[in-house]
Amino acid sequence: MRNLFLSLLLLGSVSTFAQTVFTYGPHSVSKNEFWRAYTKNNTGAVSETSIRDYLELYIRFKLKVQAAKDSKLDTLPTLKGDVAGFRAQLVEQYMRQQTSSRDLVQEAVQRSTEELEIAHVFVAYGADSAAAKTQIEKSYKELTGGADFNKTVAAYTTNEAIRKNAGYIGYISAFSLPYELENIVYSLKTGSISKPVAGANGWHIFKLLSRRATAGKLKAAQILFTIPQGASAAEKEAIKKQADSVYQLLQNGLKFADAALAYSTDKFSYNTGGVLPEFTFTSYDPAFSSVAFGLKKDGDISRPFLTSLGWHIVQRIAVTPFKVDLNDIQAFEEWNAKVSTDTRINVAREMLKQRLQTICGYKALPFQEQQLWKLTDTMLKSKNYVTFFNANRSKPLFQLKGKTITIADWLQYAKSQQRNLPVNQSNQNFSNLYKQFVNETVEQYYKDRLEQMNEDFNYQVKEFAEGSLLFEVMERTIWSKAPADSAGLITYYNNNKSKYKWMPSVNAVLFNCADTTVAHEALRMMQQHPERWKEIMDNMSGRALADSGRYEYAQLPVKAGTNLVPGLFTPVETNENDGSASFCYILKKYPGEEQRSFDEARGLVINDYQLLLEEKWINQLKKKYPVKVNEMLIKSLK
């Protein structure tokens, strides 16, 4: 039995070490941690060579971080504050990701492939909401009994304009209606009606008249002849005649853009040739879209037509078929932005609340609601409300994983929200506030424990914290120490002079400009007065900067093989990444192999001396924390 126990213990140890890439003293790095870091930073092909190269880097990294922890740098208020700030930002990012809108985006895109023609019966709430509900239910009963839809609209619709139009709405698509109503309309079959549904201003019964494929996106231009509000019949007739005359001018060869500039009253498009942003059929008034989308080919111009805004003349520019690839990041973000600003995002938020309750192990415990609301009301009115907190600390309301939320927690929350409550609270006020309390408590519980609940989040916070420690310990141990050690730098320079020789180089003025145009402007002035380069730069208002010095060929913004001679202005070179541009003015040329003085080599010496100090430090750390690599696991990582 004893041998069996030892064998099992040994197997357990081997299994644990099998997933450990390396240990350093009593500390270890798991396969998951190492592989995550390697795949994130490796830009080439996965190979044993690249894995071993990165392994050495990661060992050094972990040793330095451990040295920082040994020095208690992780307790520095500034570092703790930085980590806390990063974590808070990351929490909000993860919460936004949790509010998954991808399904809603996919639904919106799918619905946008169709345009639905609809009509409705509408009964406004008015002063008597109960009467409005009675009327809509009565109309629904008649419709389900076979009544004519148009006659029912005429009999029950309370809005005169809707009644005159026989309840006709026209074509709609995703985002045309509030999400709740959109869901109802898209669930209908052609020719069917919905049950009565409450909207913002009244009750609706929708009828789906037809479905058709989305006509795509139209690029068009318009000339608008606005009819002012309250215009007389004579004024309206004059505006119509003007639209007709401009149409004749277009037929006789007047350019559409010129006509828009001269006659259009659309202040947003007249000075751009009347060109409108790309739009779908459901983007505008059906009267406008019907004519615009009815144009047969690019360049066609409509006759003047009337909408609620006035008279329009429209020219078709191009039609783009409706097509969305949600695998395209930009396309997804554009649609996600539309979803996120629409009421449909509330659906995702409600789903998140339910999901978080499940993740956090929410379990409601029995309590008497009416007694709790009465207690809450008494507490809010009391000056000595703290006694209520103390008296209810052990009375549970609900449980989360490893945590019990008490009546005292609720009372404290209610007190903090008192200013948002009506003076005379009702049970319904308390009930709504309690739901809010549960949701906020569960969400905060989740946020506080994200490291345990989300592996990616845990790694990101750990990565930032260790990166901050690395920077701080390197600054204290290496980066600030080397430049301050004057004697050490000079000794290092004297012992390694052969490393610090000039390659072929020049004395030159190096010009860095905002863009190519500025660079050519500076070059023209410099060619006229090269000796006045400082004065010229001062007059460039920051658009161009210059500095003189000795530069090796590789440091200059010139093409390889350029013959650098004194007096030469090198051609302007543009940086493809940011559009900036550079050129040089060559003053003097030097051959290679000249010895750099200590001052000339100081930057290079500091860099090399830092590397020397770092190597000595790493060797000390490896003695303090012996490193043991799991060679079998390294060979299997491919």
Q: Are residues 540 and 429 in the same domain?
A: no
According to DSSP H, which parts of 226-344 are helical?
233-251, 256-263, 286-294, 329-340
Q: Are residues 626 and 570 in the same domain?
A: no
Identify the domain boundary among 320, 338, 372: 320
pLDDT the model gives residue 629: 95
pTM of the model: 0.63
Q: Are residues 57 and 135 in the same domain?
A: no
pLDDT the model gives residue 100: 62
Q: Are residues 386 and 427 in the same domain?
A: yes
Give the structural domain span for 118: 114-213
Residue 331 domain-assigned (yes or no): no
Residue 230 domain-assigned (yes or no): yes
pLDDT the model gives residue 347: 82
pLDDT the model gives residue 66: 97
Q: What is the DSSP string of 263-326?
A: H---TTTGGGTTBPPPB-GGGS-HHHHHHHHH--STT-BPPPEE-SSEEEEEEEEEEE-----T
Rounded average pLDDT per 10-residue block, the chain, 638 residues: 37 53 96 92 89 95 96 96 95 78 88 95 89 95 95 94 92 92 95 95 96 93 95 95 96 95 92 92 91 95 95 96 87 87 85 91 93 93 92 94 95 92 81 94 95 92 96 95 94 95 94 94 92 91 92 92 93 91 95 91 94 96 96 86
How many domains does one find in the chain? 5
pLDDT the model gives residue 377: 92
Residue 345 domain-assigned (yes or no): no
The phi, psi pair for 234, rounded to 5°, reads -65, -40
What residue has token string 């309840």?
Answer: 167
Identify the domain boundary among 414, 448, 482: 448
pLDDT the model gives residue 334: 87
CA distance 602 to 257: 65
Q: Are residues 137 and 204 in the same domain?
A: yes
**Residue 235's domain is classified under what CATH number?**
3.10.50.40
Identify the domain boundary among 170, 197, 213: 213
Q: Are residues 95 and 77 in the same domain?
A: yes
**Residue 531's domain is classified under what CATH number?**
3.10.50
pLDDT the model gives residue 95: 85
CA distance 114 to 98: 29
Q: Are residues 126 and 186 in the same domain?
A: yes
Residue 566 domain-assigned (yes or no): yes
**Residue 47's domain is classified under what CATH number?**
1.10.4030
Q: Are residues 476 and 607 in the same domain?
A: yes
Q: Are residues 421 and 281 in the same domain?
A: no
Residue 48 domain-assigned (yes or no): yes
Residue 352 domain-assigned (yes or no): no
Residue 12 domain-assigned (yes or no): no
Q: Are residues 621 and 477 in the same domain?
A: yes
Q: Are residues 87 and 128 in the same domain?
A: no
Residue 335 domain-assigned (yes or no): no
Picking from 500, 518, 516, 527, the residue whose alpha carbon sits closest to that of residue 585 is 527
CA distance 524 to 528: 7
Q: Are residues 226 and 312 in the same domain?
A: yes
